[in-house]
Structure 1
Amino acid sequence: MTQLQKYIWLIDTIRRAGKISLEEISSRWERNKDLSDYKPLSRTTFNRWKDAIFSQFGIIISCQRSGGYLYYIENPEDIDEDELKKWMLDSFAISNLIGENLSLKDRIIVNQIPSAQSHLATLLEAMQGNRVVLITYCGFNKKRSYTFPVEPYCVKLFENRWYLLAHNVSYNKIRIYGLDRIESLELTDNTFKLPKDFSASGFFS
């Protein structure tokens, strides 16, 4: 388990409990051998994770001293009002939950998300640097594929499929492309400027 997954586990444990003591957190941690190898969660480790969670996610874990030193999420609205952060935390939490119950693997059915692994990472890298991407794409019901440059504006997960919203340089139009229809994808050295008034949520509204 990565350090990030441990942070997610702690956030999810406190979120689900509402308010919870360090003793109970440690007990839940210790009972899960896949997470803890049956070792308790020390206060020093807990405090270190709490500080890292605030640094990485902006999530504040506070302590209510009256009633037995209970820990809670002080700013839950920062999770609930941020769709990406909520989705990420929920996804990690579900992953952790399934990992805790691998003995039920034959009774838990999931669907693979097409191309999430093969293309998503490269597209996010391109979006970070506003770099033009050369894609080879075969549209639905098309007999042949085409290669052309696009400027990646955003990606969207919809009905278990990833999509790319991009400016097609050749046609000078904004188009939507299914990641599962992309045959190959290559970063170029060319860069672009994202329009100042562009809003991903506004576009899809």
Structure 2
Amino acid sequence: MISKTFNRYIWLLNTLLQYRKLTFQEISNRWKSSCIGDGNPLALRTFHSHREAIAELFGVEIKCDPSTYKYYVSSPDLLKKDKTKQWLLNTFTISNMIEAGRNMKERILLEDIPAGGEYLQMVIEAMQLNNKLQIGYQPFNGPKQIFLLHPYAMKVYRQRWYVVGYLEEQKGIRNISIDRVKDMKQIDEPFLIPTNFDPEEYYAHTVGIYVNERLQPQKIILRVYGSQVEYMRSLPLHFSQKEIVGKEGEYSDFEYNLCLTPELTSQLLTMGEKVEVREPQVLKDNLLKRLRKTLKRYR
């Protein structure tokens, strides 16, 4: 359970992000009627204490406009751009509201998250200390294996946590799915992260978690039809996405700079008839090959 004080921080930050600018009296009244409040107004001293804590935890300041005496979050865009802080804020907000309104638990449906969460703290500690991890790993299609991993970074994808780093047994950078870890311990053996390793750059030209360092990114053009266009605009397939041309109400063409990985092909297949690969030809061929195999299953 999250502490009541931390719940207050989340509530205050979300309230100001939602309403943009509020006087202290307006904030206090909203707190009084809030489902996580105690029915009493928010004390001014407590409010200022919460402002300081929010600045320390989330790196954003709650400032006062002297012309209106209204408080506001000074740099909400910085919070939105920081994926980690935004993810934490969203997670704690849901937890906060479920805890406050216990009758909501049956009405807020969440996705199941695979096992492995108990190892997250150890991975982060090993990353902070630059210590190796000894991992007992159970693949889906083979016996348990023991790996020595230099943990460089972590990534969450499709409700699964992954740790990426140098795998001594395979002499290269690999991804380990934490939900397949059977046991883990930190080894008192330090490692050095290569100066040229950048997690953002490592995943920059791929969709999903799979990275093949031998592949070079290519220009990809997709023609997207109907309502799928708006989905692509609101939730891009990849950050390199650019809308280049279209016919209003019918389709739009989107351009990407990506490596041709199996995960990319799988993502495109989930869109069915609403997406068409315009180029490159090799990606078209990969899709056709997968579609033919799928049709063969049903014959």
Q: Is the 8 A contact 2:130 2:191 kept in 1?
A: yes
* Residue correspondence of structure 1 range 66-145 to structure 2 within 5 A: 66-67=67-68, 69-142=69-142, 144-145=143-144
- Counterpart selection for 2:26 from 15, 19, 24: 24
**3-state SS of paired residue (2:114):** coil
Aligned partners of 2:42, 2:196: CA distance in 1, in Å? 47
**Amino acid corresponding to residue 178 of structure 2 in structure 1:** L
Structure 1 moving runs of 4+ over 6 Å: none
User: Is the alpha carbon distance of 1:116 and 1:41 closer, same or farther for their aligned partners in structure 2, counting shifts above 3 Å?
Assistant: farther
Equivalent residue number for residue 156 of structure 1: 155
Q: Is the 8 A contact 2:133 2:151 kept in 1?
A: yes
Equivalent residue number for residue 196 of structure 1: 195
Q: Deviation of residue 116 (structure 1)?
A: 5.0
Aligned partners of 2:196, 2:8: CA distance in 1, in Å? 38
Q: Is the 8 A contact 1:115 1:162 kept in 2?
A: no
Q: After superposition, what is the alpha-carbon deviation per residue over 1:59-78, rounded to whole angstroms, capped at 9, x for unaligned?
A: 110112333x2111111122
Q: Is the 8 A contact 1:30 1:37 kept in 2?
A: yes
Q: Is the 8 A contact 2:130 2:190 kept in 1?
A: yes
Aligned partners of 1:61, 1:182: CA distance in 2, in Å? 42
Looking at both structures, which has the greater relative contact order when contacts are Cα pairs under 8 Å and sequence separation is at least 6?
A: 1
Aligned partners of 1:135, 1:155: CA distance in 2, in Å? 15
Q: After superposition, what is the alpha-carbon deviation per residue over 1:94-122, rounded to whole angstroms, capped at 9, x for unaligned?
A: 22233333212222211232235311111
User: Is the alpha carbon distance of 1:117 and 1:27 closer, same or farther for their aligned partners in structure 2, counting shifts above 3 Å?
Assistant: farther
Equivalent residue number for residue 5 of structure 1: 7
When Rg is computed on C-alpha atoms for both structures, the one with the higher figure is: 2
**3-state SS of paired residue (1:24):** helix
Equivalent residue number for residue 40 of structure 2: 39
Q: TM-score normalised to the size of structure 1? A: 0.91
**Amino acid corresponding to residue 29 of structure 2 in structure 1:** S
- Most deviating of 57-66 and 70-79: 57-66
Q: After superposition, what is the alpha-carbon deviation per residue over 1:155-198, rounded to whole angstroms, capped at 9, x for unaligned?
A: 11111111111210122111111111000110110111111121
Aligned partners of 2:45, 2:30: CA distance in 1, in Å? 17
Q: After superposition, what is the alpha-carbon deviation per residue over 1:11-42, rounded to whole angstroms, capped at 9, x for unaligned?
A: 11110111112222222222235x33323210
Q: Is the 8 A contact 1:113 1:162 kept in 2?
A: no
**Amino acid corresponding to residue 177 of structure 2 in structure 1:** G
Q: Is the 8 A contact 1:32 1:100 kept in 2?
A: no
Aligned partners of 1:152, 1:108: CA distance in 2, in Å? 35
Q: Could you say what the CA RMSD is over the residues aligned between the two structures, in angstroms?
A: 1.7
Gaps of 5+ in 2: 205-299
Aligned partners of 1:32, 1:102: CA distance in 2, in Å? 14
Aligned partners of 2:26, 2:94: CA distance in 1, in Å? 20
How many residues are treated as equivalent by the alignment? 202
**3-state SS of paired residue (1:185):** strand
Gaps of 5+ in 1: none
Does 1:48 pair with 2:42?
A: no
Aligned partners of 2:145, 2:73: CA distance in 1, in Å? 50
**Amino acid corresponding to residue 51 of structure 2 in structure 1:** K
Q: TM-score normalised to the size of structure 2? A: 0.64
